[in-house]
Amino acid sequence: MSNNKVSVVLGTQWGDEGKGKLVDILAKDIDVCVRCQGGNNAGHTIVVDGVKYAFHMLPSGLVNTECISIVGSGVVVHLPSFFEELEDLEKQGLDCDGRLFISDRCHLVFDFHQIVDGLKEGELGRGSIGTTKKGIGPAYSSKASRSGLRVHHLYHFEEFERRLRTIVEARHKRYGDFEYDVEAELQRYRQLADRLRPFVIDSVEYLHKELAGGKRILVEGANALMLDIDFGTYPYVTSSNTGIGGVCTGLGIPPSKIGEVIGVAKAYTTRVGGGPFPSELTDDVGQKLRDVGAEYGVTTGRPRRCGWLDLVVLRYSNMINGYTSINLTKLDVLDVFDTIKVAVSYTINGKEVTSFPASLEDLETATVNYVSLPGWKENISKCRSFDELPENCKAYVRFIERDLGVPVKWIGVGAGREEMIAM
């Protein structure tokens, strides 16, 4: 029996940590890159030789022309967006022919899911989640209620048609008579089914065969732990398991086949949309982080909320995902600060708390306890080894390592592929 194991890259915070860049760097030494959950609500930007590639649903391993990329079973797929993203990448010169596949078990996102997504947000009013309105939540709801359609249904089209009509009728009963042309959608999906056929595989069998054959497999998580449907800041979360559990359930890989688990953590903290954010800065310092870090969403263009690094979040994230190493990203953004603060605990109802609480009501009353560290006020974007970093910068990295008990193995000092220090 093969002892080969998959490596996993996961977000440690609320997403947008820069996972795609690390995946791109690691992909040069792997054979297969696979997405395990989420949909096109995710967003990575990868810069290679000055060219920016935007990834939303497709694995960023596609940038490596020797790498096979797979959209795994746990991903929900809007097929028009799948092909649009593929076409955009190919227009930029990426040859993806014969290198991209999709699981026959993937659930499909339809336009009515996106319509419903917006209607649900409207119902929530001031308590809205801040969804991307890509239809991801409603698609996972269809999956959980066992009324969803999967890729394989496309190749039994009578059954596909029956199920689509049934689910649309149910949504009309729930949300009223919103505009949606079922006949046009059926016609479109007849054509998409033919176009998709060369991409469709049994990804469970494929991945296990590749593992048994000694192939190097890298799993690319989407979103991040604090958006996990079970362990995130519920209900201000996404609709899938974004942690290590989602790798197993989204790909059909047992825990015994998971090796390295790399947590990607931004050197400060950001999040998009509503929900608690204890270390958020709504002052000039927060705006400075946003401007220097270019903190605007790849998928939505929305400005990200910004704050200091929160070790309460990272400790909690590490407890759940069991990181074997950390990729600390965008450390160069902190170059401009005289003093850098790090959240180390919260005070809730007069008690110090060092793990992330479940109750949003408790979080609303929390006082964040910070440690202040001296900044370095030097441009580190040209540094290519840890020894080249300023002493205060090295001390910042070591402070994080000591607190988490996890080694920092990579440090991002700029947007480009070459602007990454390997420890």
Distance linking the first and last C-alpha atoms of the chain? 33
261, 294 Cβ separation under 8 angstroms: no
Catalytic (active site) residue 44:
yes
Distance CA 295, CA 85 (A): 22
What is the identity of the amino acid at 227? L
DSSP codes joined into one string, 293-325: TT-B-TTT-PBPEEE-EEHHHHHHHHHHH--SE
Distance CA 85, CA 58 (A): 8
Tokens representing 252 are: 């059909």
Please tell me whether the peptide bond between 138 and the residue prior to it is cis, using omega within 30 degrees of 0.
no
22, 46 Cβ separation under 8 angstroms: no
275, 236 Cβ separation under 8 angstroms: yes
Distance CA 228, CA 234 (A): 8
What is the identity of the amino acid at 257? K
Q: Which of 44, 56, 107, 153 is catalytic?
A: 44
Tokens representing 162 are: 């029956």
Residue-wise over 256-284: b if at least 16 C-beta within 10 A, else e? ebbeebbbbbbbbbbbbbbbbbbbbbeee
Tokens representing 421 are: 């220090």
Distance CA 233, CA 275 (A): 7
Phi, psi of 215 (to 5 degrees): -70, 150
Who contacts 281 (Cβ-Cβ below 8 Å, separation ≥6)? 289, 306, 307, 308
290, 282 Cβ separation under 8 angstroms: no
Distance CA 229, CA 244 (A): 13
Question: What angle, 0 to 180 degrees and rounded to 10, lies between the N-to-C axes of helices 182-196 and 79-91?
Answer: 50
Q: Which of 16, 24, 117, 332 is catalytic?
A: 16
Catalytic (active site) residue 107:
no
297, 16 Cβ separation under 8 angstroms: yes
Within 10 angstroms of residue 198's Cβ, the number of other Cβ atoms is 11
Catalytic residues: 16, 44
